[in-house]
Homo-oligomer: A and B are copies of this chain.
Amino acid sequence: MNQPTEPKADKSGVRRHNLSLVLRTVHEAGETTRAAVAARVGLTRPAVSSLVEQLLDLGFLVESGKTFSGQAGRPGTVLKPADTGPAGLGVEINVDYVTVRVVDLTGTDRVRRTEHLDNREPEAGDVLARAARVAAEALDAAAERHLVPAGAGLALPGLVCDGTVRQAPNLGWNEVPAEALFGKALTALRPGTAGLPVASDNEANMAALAELWSGSLGDLRTFLYLTGEIGVGGAIVVHGELLRGAHGFAGEIGHLVVDAEGPLCRCGSRGCLEQYAGQAALLAAADAGGVPDLARRAEAAEPRALAALAEAGRMLGRALSAAVNLLDPEAVVLGGIYPRLMPWLTPALAEELADRVVSGLWTPDAERLRPASAATDAARGAAALVLHDILADPLAHTPAPSA
């Protein structure tokens, strides 16, 4: 996959491929030289220089004044990905907030906006219009930094397929054409974004990609990712790839049944995990006003808070024992509200895993439970997905001069 393609039949196709190869190589290195790129990708120096010139002209790369003596050849001018120009716009719409991020080609988060609001009451179209407004404001801030969106990623809390939210029980959405509605609303606010590609996916999938690409997991390539929100989202990563299933609906850990006769869930089933370990259920059980309040009460060893967290941990452990028995992951990564609450969730959670996982690999001290890193979330993953698209084919993402 990382091999250069030598010119054969389709010369422009080959050049496109090699432009991507050079851009990805510079992106991964952070700072490098033409000679080091040539050595790395196996193309000639003149070929690399020509590709680099085009990437400089199009604004994907910049030269710094510095020279750099790498492992290959004479000192050369340092190349870096541009921190202006094409950028990824990531938008997460969740039940009680919208988060927008703009990430530049170096991978740095340049703009971040979060608005807390209840997305359950308004119509789907109005929620998407709200998200578009937050995105438009973020794009204004990005424009001041000379960043132009090359695409938008849309992270949504539900079953997403072909640009449409098939079902999002916690939002009450069914068959909502989210990509189209969001794109239309954004274009109405900022006509320059007309034609901007929008790609949507489940929010847990996006957050898992953010975690995978952040480097914080080291060599970990097979893991489960849980996001604690109003709902509980889940994603499955196997050997570095999202497992999506036959229709893109895999990973619905929040709807694993932990008590068959338990309370009704908005999905129509009973006793789903999110009825115990979702944010709303957990705060209600603890009689807490929010996650920071819950953490304070737990730190003060308030019995009701501790009991609610232990019960949520136990139910997380019960659902995760099923997921671990089925999928045999190396680790479980807990995101959303969970990292802050792990001190009180983990004991009961780890005990359930130790009791119920057949392989015996999930002993309580196995350290296979890990918090998601603070820098990653679904909006970050959605923006990173756009970056991946740019890196895979920069020519397809040349910013329009008017945008």
Contact = CB atoms under 8 A, between A and B. Distances in A.
A380 to B, nearest CB: 24
Interface in A326-341: 326-330
Contacts of A355: 268-270
Contact of A159 (B222, B246, B259, B359): B359
A234 B328 CA distance: 13
Contact of A246 (B167, B244, B330, B358): B330
A356 interface: yes
A347 interface: no
B323 A326 contact: yes
Contacts of A257: 318, 321-322, 356
Nearest to A329: B246
Contacts of A260: 258-259, 318
A255 B326 CA distance: 9
Interface residues of A, number: 46
Contacts of A252: 325-326, 358-359
Contacts of A360: 167
Given A260-B318, A318-B257, A322-B256, A166 B327 contact: no
A188 interface: no
Contact of A326 (B247, B248, B251, B328): B251
B246 A222 contact: yes
Q: Which of A167, A249, A330 has the most CB of B within 10 A?
A: A249
A247 B238 CA distance: 12
Given A260-B318, A326-B326, A326-B327, A356 B247 contact: no
Interface in A151-199: 159, 166-167, 169
A255 to B, nearest CB: 5
* Chief secondary structure at chain A's binding surface: loop
Contacts of A329: 245-246
Contacts of A256: 322, 325-326
A142 interface: no
Nearest to A239: B246
A250 B269 CA distance: 26
A251 B222 CA distance: 15
Contact of A250 (B249, B253, B326): B326
A352 to B, nearest CB: 9
A400 interface: no
A234 B166 CA distance: 29
Given A247-B328, A256-B325, A268-B355, 20 more contacts: A167-B359, A236-B326, A243-B243, A244-B328, A245-B327, A245-B328, A245-B329, A246-B329, A246-B330, A247-B361, A249-B328, A249-B361, A250-B327, A252-B325, A255-B356, A256-B326, A257-B321, A267-B358, A269-B321, A269-B358
9 contacts: A236-B327, A238-B243, A247-B359, A249-B359, A255-B358, A260-B318, A267-B358, A269-B355, A326-B326
In the A-B complex, the 9 residue pairs with the smallest Cβ-Cβ separation, listed nearest first, are: A245-B328, A252-B325, A250-B328, A249-B328, A269-B356, A246-B330, A222-B246, A249-B359, A255-B358
